[in-house]
Amino acid sequence: MPEAPPDDLPALRVEHVDVTYGRAVSALRDVSLTVPHDSVVALLGANGAGKTTLLRALSGTLRLYRGAISAGRVRYGGTVLDGRDPVAAVQAGVVQVPEGRRVFTGLTVDENLRSGGLGLSRRGSAQVAEARDRVFTLFPRLAERRRQAAGLLSGGEQQMLAIGRALMAAPRLLLLDEPSLGLAPLMVDRIAEVVREIHAQGTAVLLVEQNAGMALSLADHAHVLETGEVRLSGPAAALAGTDAVRRLYLGEEGAA
């Protein structure tokens, strides 16, 4: 099998990253992890462990919170992402779906999807239509409601719209921040299916979750963050078997 050049199959490499807020509060210390081009990687951790901070560091939105990467490197393929703005991440193919969905509630479903393509330089309407058709195939529900205000969708539908909006930017790596948050169990299963589908279509996924059971069932690799540091790393199946993870994140009281 011929080796493909590294640029065609880029990986996200986070190398020894420190993040501080307001030049004082240290939120991440010496975090390193890799998301290979064809993988689903899960990032677990309790509230305040630094999961969302890491995503902000990747997508370039730390600045909105007065935060900065104070040491280390973030690279996607050949592109350096640390110190860059969100436009750079989107154009490199790294697109984040924010926690809590954050769809534009006053805009229609269609306009929300159009907004997903704003980061790319002018695209032909044919390309936009093609991207939208892909989203509608994945989420037929959105096609039915395309002229409705996004604020009138249910929570599950909004999560689908948030994912669909990100897919409009044709990402090669999708950053998902707590997609199952606040959703009914059936809808969580549906989201898991969608993540599998997106991965099958060739997009790598970094999945941040508190629902460790769901995340570990989807992921190849997983990392556990604790108070700003990577505590555990390894294949998802192996992590799911460790006592610490079972006790802390899978809620199995009996596991000793």
Partner 1 sequence: MTGLLDDLLGGLALGAVYALVALGFVVIFKASGVLNFAHGSLLLLGGYLTAVLHDDIGFAGALAVGVLATALLAGVIDRLLLRRGDPDPHTAHVQTIVTIGVDIVLLTDLSRRIGGDLLVLGDPWGDAVTRVGPVTVADSRLAAIAVSAGAIAVVFGLFRYTRWGLSLRAAGEDLEAAALMGVRLSRVRTLAWCLAGALAALAAVFLAAFPAPGLERTTGQIALKAFPAAILGGMASPAGALAGSLLIGLTEALVAGHQSELRLLGEGFGDVVPYAVMVLVLLVRPTGLFGTKGAARV
Closest approach of partner 1 to the CB of residue 153, in Å? 7
Q: Which of 32, 79, 91, 217 binds partner 1 (CB under 8 A)?
A: 91
Binding mask 2-21 for partner 1 (x = CB under 8 A): --------------------
- Whole-angstrom distance, CA of residue 82 vs CA of residue 85: 8
Contact 239, 245 (CB under 8 A): yes
> Which residue, 40 or 62, is less far from partner 1 as judged by CB?
62
Residue 121 gets the label, from left (phi > 0), alpha (psi -120 to 50) or beta, of: beta
* Residue corresponding to tokens 């280390």: 72
In whole angstroms, how close is the CB of 233 to partner 1 at the nearest point? 26
What is the Cβ-side half-sphere exposure of residue 73, based on CA atoms within 13 angstroms? 10
If binding is defined by CB under 8 A, does position 63 make contact with partner 1?
A: yes
173 is a site residue for partner 1 (CB under 8 A): no
How far apart are alpha carbons 148 and 251 in whole angstroms? 39
Q: Is 95 in the site for partner 1 (CB under 8 A)?
A: yes
Contacts of 85 (CB under 8 A, 6+ apart): 60, 63
Q: Which of 23, 104, 17 is nearest to 56 (CA)?
A: 17
20 DSSP 8-state letter? E
Q: How many CB atoms lie under 10 A from the CB of residue 59?
A: 23
| CB closer to partner 1 out of 50 and 246 | 50
Crossing angle for the helix pair 155-167 and 185-200, to the nearest 10 degrees: 10
Q: Which amino acid is at 11?
A: A
- Choose one: 62-70, 71-79, 188-196, 208-216; the region binding partner 1 (CB under 8 A): 62-70
Least Cβ distance, residue 117 to partner 1 (angstroms):
8
Considering only 6, 25, 30, 118, the residue that binds partner 1 (CB under 8 A) is 118
Residue number with CB closer to partner 1 (16 or 63): 63
Q: Classify 3 as helix, strand or coil.
A: coil
Nearer to partner 1, 186 or 256 (CB): 186
Instruction: Choose which of 21, 84, 104, 255 interacts with partner 1 (CB under 8 A).
Output: 104
Interface with partner 1 by CB under 8 A: which residues? 59-61, 63-64, 66, 85-87, 89-91, 95-98, 102-107, 111, 114-116, 118-120, 122, 149, 151-155, 165-166, 169
